[in-house]
Structure 1
Amino acid sequence: MKPISLNRLVARTVSGALCASAALLFTSAGVYAQTAPASGTHQVTRAEVRHELEELEAAGYNPSQGEDENYPADIQEAERKVAAMHAAQANASIGNQPAMQGMSMH
């Protein structure tokens, strides 16, 4: 068995470390790209999440049930009810506004 020179040993160690560093860099960049919000979207605030949960609870969802055999059907039903409520509110607000034609923007 030939003894490995110190230069070869250092070169192998450095090249191995560089490969590991490059792999880590590419992996972390991929993970960040998957978790970063898409451009044009905003991060959801805590207040928005709490408001959404309050709406779901008002629509019949109970998150404190723990092991619920109806999950996810129960939350999906509550989400459907909340979406229908939002659509009805949007339609009502559009119907109550006067036509914008011919109105000055000043």
Structure 2
Amino acid sequence: MKNLIAAALAATVLAAPALSFAQASQAPVTRAQVRAELAQLEQAGYRPGVSSPYYPEDLQAAEARVNQQNGAAQATAYGASTNGSSQAGSPQPNVKPVYFGN
């Protein structure tokens, strides 16, 4: 019995990393997607061909503007309501508990 538990535990520990990688989306990016993203960055004010001493900051600022524009577009889109709701009933009267005693 102890060997069975140890084997099950070992299998679980070894399988956990494989399952966590399976959940991540590792789809390759197409050229069209890269070009579309570059066009969005250029519209946001980033110039990829210009040599700038502020390169990382310029790119990050343009990405922030693109993300802000995309977030505004998602906020006005149709879709399911994001507001959560829950309902709870009242406890049943005169119900004996399943576990009573020791």
Q: What TM-score bracket applies, with the shorter chain setting the length?
A: 0.5 to 0.7
- Distance in 1, matches of 2:80 and 2:25, equals 30
- Distance in 2, matches of 1:98 and 1:39, equals 24
Establish whether residue 59 from structure 1 lines up as the match of residue 44 from structure 2. yes
Q: Unaligned 5+ residue runs, structure 1? A: 1-37, 100-106
Establish whether residue 90 from structure 1 lines up as the match of residue 86 from structure 2. no
Question: How many angstroms does 1:98 deviate by?
Answer: 8.0
- Distance in 1, matches of 2:24 and 2:47, equals 33
Q: What is the RMSD of the two structures over their aligned residues, measured on CA atoms?
A: 2.1
Q: Which residue pairs with 1:73 in the alignment?
A: 57
Number of corresponding residues:
59
Question: How many angstroms does 1:70 deviate by?
Answer: 1.1
> What TM-score do you get using the length of structure 1 for normalisation?
0.50
- Distance in 2, matches of 1:84 and 1:69, equals 25
Taking every aligned residue pair, what percent have the same amino acid on both sides? Answer: 37
Larger helix fraction of residues: 1
Q: Unaligned 5+ residue runs, structure 2? A: 1-22, 82-102
> What TM-score do you get using the length of structure 2 for normalisation?
0.52
